Every structure is written in C-alpha cells, then in structure tokens.
Amino acid sequence: MTIFKAKEKTDKMVITNIPLDRIYPNPNQPRVIFDEYELVCLAQSIKENGVLQPVTVKEICEGRYELVAGERRVRASRLAGLSEIPAIVTEYTDEESAILSVIENIQRCNLTFFEEAEAMRRLISAGGITQEQLAQRLGRSQSTVANKLRLLKLEEKVRNLIMVYGLNERQARAVLRLPEEEREKAVEEIHRSGLNVNQTDKYIDALLSPDKRKKKLAWTFTEKKLYINSINKTLDTMKKSGVPFESEKNVVNGILTYIIRIPQD
C-alpha cells in the first residue's frame, strides 16, 4: 500500500448535521486518554459558540457513521447536551481512516508518547507501510519513528508507572537500556529522587557499569545532594501543610544527622 493523500473531489464539499447517536468510535483511534477537565472546558465553549470545526466521518451503512477525526469534539458535544454535530462525510477506506486519525492527533499534540508509538506500530503492521514511508507522511525523521517504536519494548506495568510519575520520553528511553527485571525499580527511584534527564542518564549508566554488576550492589548513586534536597523538600511541604513537627540538623565529624519529631496525636 502507498501512503494515501486526501481524495480529490469534483463536487463542492458538503457539511451536514448528523445525530450523535449515529456516530460510532473509530476502532483505530490512537488516543486512549482524554483529559476530563479539557473536555468540560470544550463542552462549555461549544454551549456558548457551537461546534466551530466539523468532525470527519465515513458512512459504514445506511444512517450509521464511523468517526474518522474529531473524537474530542464528539465527546464534548455530548457533554454539552447536543443531539447532533456538523460533519463532513468522506469515502476513506479503513486504512486511510486509520492513518488520518493518527496524523490528526499527532499534529494536534494530543497523544502521549506511548499512544503515539502504539499508533505508529499499528499503522506499519496493518497498513503495510515502512518506517521510512510513515516518517515521510508524518513529517518526521526515520530515526524519530524508530525511537518511538522502541518504547513499546517496555512492559505495560513500567509504561503505566512512567505515565503516573510524569517521566518524559527521554527518561523512558533511558530506562529501556536496563534489563527487564530492573526497570520497575529504576522508575521508582527516578521518581522518588526527582531526577532530571541528565541525572537519569547518569543513574542508568551507574546501574549498567561493569563494577556495579559484578558486585551486585544496590542503589549507590553518588549525588548525595539529591537525598538531602529530598529531605529538605519534605520538611518544607510539611511546614506549609501545617503538620506539627520539630527538626534538628547537625554535622559532626563529617556526618550529617537529621532528627525529626512528629507528635502522634
């Protein structure tokens, strides 16, 4: 299959209102997470201004339509209490519809990097296209596409932790360098210590160092300042939250000691 281009139309494109209960989700929709707050805001805007941009659908049988692009608008319109939505009816094939859905979401930056990677994988597998062809259609380099796809080698549990903790794509790729059995613990440590991208790379390098593996040492990351900052940040958060406590910090013979007293009642 060659990567599709939008079909040329000799007739003027017609926008028609379609009942929302006759529009069905696109099974190839790459986006699986929808921000509820953003949907509520969009629904409020639709109540006040209407749907400013029609969705795109294709007719799957008489009177029933499959969504090609615009799922956020459909969901928000339902929240806004609308019964129908303006739509452009197309004649895309399933493969064309899948590619268009991915491209629209990627161009709008609405996908997480894992959703984007999974969408790319499905397109390459089902659409019979190469990484190079997909990269060209998306306006990306082939190496960018390849790096995205490598993220799918992470286990689902590790992926979920990465998203919950708010790690970025570069940190996810760094974790990918580790053996499977070490990845989950590494993600926990990166989050707990508040490591940035450069610190994450150093941490992964330390875990992968030959001496580290030979001695089977536990976590020995040398930047002690990270731990000290973590303690200070915790105490500051407790203070701002009104949690009663007393703390002492002493340095004797090069040893830093914290004493924290918290009333039980």
Residues tagged active-site: 71
130 neighbors 98 (Cβ within 8 angstroms): no
Beta-carbon count within 10 A of 39 CB = 17
The single-letter code of the amino acid at 40 is V
Q: How far is CA 76 from CA 2, 3, 72, in A?
A: 34, 31, 6
The single-letter code of the amino acid at 45 is S
What single string gives the DSSP state of each residue in 80-95? Answer: TT-SEEEEEEE---HH
Contacts of 164 (CB under 8 A, 6+ apart): none
Helices then strands (H, E): number in the chain?
12, 7
Q: Specify the DSSP class assigned to residue 242.
A: T
Q: How far is CA 246 from CA 84, 259, 265, in A?
A: 61, 8, 14
